[in-house]
């Protein structure tokens, strides 16, 4: 039998693992977080301080503006008051001057009237009153319309016209200023014209 040759075994490679330092990484992370937090707080503080300062500046500006407006209003009020007082003094002086002038004029007029001689007054003769002419007696006239066994007076015709105006037309008798009557016995009608515009007719 042939002799078997032994094959030498291959060497197995070993990999060395690097040690991981977990504590150092954790420390770096914590320091970074603390730094970020500190920066954020610093920014927040700066923003708050800026806002506070801006609010204070705005408040101060508003106060200064209000003070300026108040001073301006007070100054204008003072000027207006002075102008009113000056106007009052001017009016007072003018009024006093006019009173003095009027007083002098009245005194001058009185002096002139006192110096002027009194005029004699003579009673004016009144014209003799004319005697009134005696009034003539009025003639009483009565108008009667007779036809077809009827006898109608003038007053009855006028009254009938007034009745038509008042009751048929619904008007006031006192509103009648003029009344024209046209009597037509052949038609048994009386035609009327009131105040020159309203017209109509009624039976005798």
Task: Look at 72 and 133; give whichever has higher pLDDT.
Answer: 72
Domain span at 192:
144-203
pLDDT recorded at residue 1: 47
Q: For residue 38, tell me if it sits in a domain.
A: yes
Comparing 184 with 11, the larger pLDDT belongs to 184
Q: Are residues 51 and 109 in the same domain?
A: yes
From residue 154, give the alpha-carbon distance in Å to each of 12, 61, 146. Answer: 168, 103, 11
Please list, in sequence order, all residues whose beta carbon lies within 8 angstroms of the beta carbon of residue 169, skipping any fewer than 6 positions away. Answer: 198, 200
Q: Which of 168, 157, 163 is nearest to 191 (CA)?
A: 157
* More confident of the two residues 10 and 75: 75
Each residue's pLDDT tens digit, 132-162: 666 777 888 888 888 888 889 999 999 999 9
Say how many domains are in the chain.
2
Residue 4, pLDDT > 80, answer no
pLDDT score, position 174: 93
Whether residue 102 is found in the same domain as residue 154: no
Burial of 165 (0-12, 13-18, 19+ CB in 10 A): buried
31 and 107 inside one domain: yes
Which token pair is 100?
């003095």
Q: Residue 10: inside a domain, yes or no? A: no
**Looking at the whole model, is its pTM more than 0.85?**
no
The pLDDT value given to residue 14? 57
* Predicted pLDDT of residue 158: 94
Q: CB of 195 within 8 A of CB of 178?
A: yes
Same domain, 85 and 165: no
Residues 110, 16: Cα–Cα separation, whole Å: 147
The answer as to whether 175 is a domain residue is yes
DSSP string, 140-184: P---EEEETTEEEEHHHHHHHHHHIIIIIS---GGG---EEEEEE
Average pLDDT rounded to a whole number, residues 14-33:
70
| pLDDT score recorded for residue 12 | 61
Long-range own/partner contacts, residues 54-58 (CB < 8 A, 24 or more apart): none
Q: Is residue 17 part of a domain?
A: no
Question: In this structure, is residue 174 part of a structural domain?
Answer: yes
Among residues 116, 136, 170, the one where a domain terminates is 116
Mean pLDDT of 23-39: 84
Reported as a single tens digit per residue, the pLDDT across 161-196 is 999 999 998 999 999 999 999 999 998 899 999 999
Are 112 and 30 within one domain? yes
**Whole-number percent of the chain with pLDDT over 90:** 23
Q: Do 30 and 110 belong to one domain? A: yes
pLDDT in tens, 79-138: 888 888 888 888 888 878 877 887 787 777 777 766 655 555 555 556 666 666 667 778
């Amino acid at each position: 039998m042939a002799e078997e040759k032994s094959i030498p075994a291959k060497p197995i490679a070993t990999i060395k693992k690097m040690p991981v330092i977990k504590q150092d990484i954790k420390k770096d992370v914590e320091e970074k977080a603390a730094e970020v937090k500190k920066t954020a707080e610093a920014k927040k503080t700066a923003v708050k301080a800026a806002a506070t300062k801006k609010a204070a500046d705005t408040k101060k500006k508003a106060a200064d503006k209000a003070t300026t407006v108040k001073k301006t209003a007070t100054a204008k009020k003072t000027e207006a008051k002075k102008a009113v007082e000056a106007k009052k003094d001017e009016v007072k002086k003018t009024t006093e001057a006019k009173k003095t002038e009027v007083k002098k004029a009245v005194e001058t007029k009185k002096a002139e009237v006192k110096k002027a001689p009194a005029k004699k007054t003579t009673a004016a003769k009144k014209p003799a009153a004319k005697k009134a002419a005696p009034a003539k007696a009025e003639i009483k006239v009565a108008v009667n319309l007779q036809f077809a066994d009827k006898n109608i007076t003038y007053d009855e015709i006028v009254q009938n016209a007034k009745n038509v105006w008042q009751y048929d037309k619904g008007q006031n008798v006192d509103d009648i200023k003029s009344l024209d009557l046209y009597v037509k016995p052949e038609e048994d009608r009386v035609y009327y014209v009131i105040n020159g515009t309203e017209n109509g007719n009624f039976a005798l």
